[in-house]
Amino acid sequence: MYSYQMTADDIVKQDPELAIIPVGSLEQHGPHLPIMTDWAIADEMGKGVAEMTGGFLIPALPISTCREHMGKKGSVWMEPLTFYQMMNDIIMSLKTQGFKKVCILQCHGGIFIMKPLVRDLNAKYNPDLMVAHIDSMDITAALRAEGLLETTTELHAGESEASKMLAIAPETVHMDRVVDYVPEVPRPYLSYGSIFRATPAGLWGEPSFATKEKGEAIMKRSVEWAVEEMNNIFAYMEKKEKFGYSYF
């Protein structure tokens, strides 16, 4: 049973010090994947991390920042400053209740304001509150090195995401509509035009390599890696002593 399925009294009895906030996005994912892809992956990762840690799981947030997907109906975003304030308010409410640690599981690559948010929170409130930021894109190289991914081209809706969705919600995946496309421009060009300027189909990678078996293995390893990295981050912050006037 996950935390949000429990009563408040049961949560008080457990008294967890860790809160888990998975963050996704509602955005187009090419012709083959549903707009819920990032949210579904965040939801699955959050559940996995909660099972391994016993942390207080907040339901995955479905909307963040994704203006790079403007052009087709179905992508929903908020302003970066709105996202910053919303996350700050959520985390401050957790701090008020006595949570000492917060783990943010970022499962959408386009939330560029997340790093300043995390740095600000730790600079202001460490050691009373520690916030770990786990970006699911950071494990990609390790997945390739471990043989769980074949391609090196994915940025959006490619082999990894399609595989994960085949494992999580196969009924929403349309492998018969799959096309592979790798733009000629690098990722930073998404600051100069929507993804559709770089790739007309709205994907960036080679989803034809996707399989359910890969997705199951990738999700399992991603959860393990997230917990390992989270623990490393908290251990780093916990061992810091006061330097001058600051614990940051």
Q: CATH code at 150?
A: 3.40.50.10310
246 found inside a domain: no
- CA-CA distance, 43 to 58, in Å (whole number)? 9
Instruction: Give me the count of residues in the chain.
Output: 248
With cut-offs at 50, 70 and 90, classify the pLDDT of residue 82. Answer: very high
With cut-offs at 50, 70 and 90, classify the pLDDT of residue 119. Answer: very high
Q: Other CB atoms closer than 10 Å to residue 49's CB: what's the count? A: 23
64 found inside a domain: yes
- Among the listed residues 163, 117, 139, the one whose alpha carbon sits nearest the alpha carbon of residue 21: 117
The tens digit of pLDDT for each residue in 143-175 reads: 999 999 999 999 999 999 999 999 999 999 999
Say what the pTM is: 0.97
> What is the rounded (10 degree) CA torsion for 6, 54, 89, 41?
-90
151 found inside a domain: yes
245 found inside a domain: no
81 found inside a domain: yes
Q: What are phi and psi for residue 63, nearest 5 degrees?
A: -125, 135
DSSP-based three-state secondary structure for 179: coil
24 found inside a domain: yes
The tens digit of pLDDT for each residue in 85-118 reads: 999 999 999 999 999 999 999 999 999 999 999 9
Q: Which domain holds residue 96?
A: 3-238
In the predicted model, what is the mean pLDDT of residues 186-213?
A: 97
11 found inside a domain: yes
37 found inside a domain: yes
pLDDT computed for residue 155 by the predictor: 97
The number of folded domains in the chain is 1
Q: Other CB atoms closer than 10 Å to residue 13's CB: what's the count? A: 9
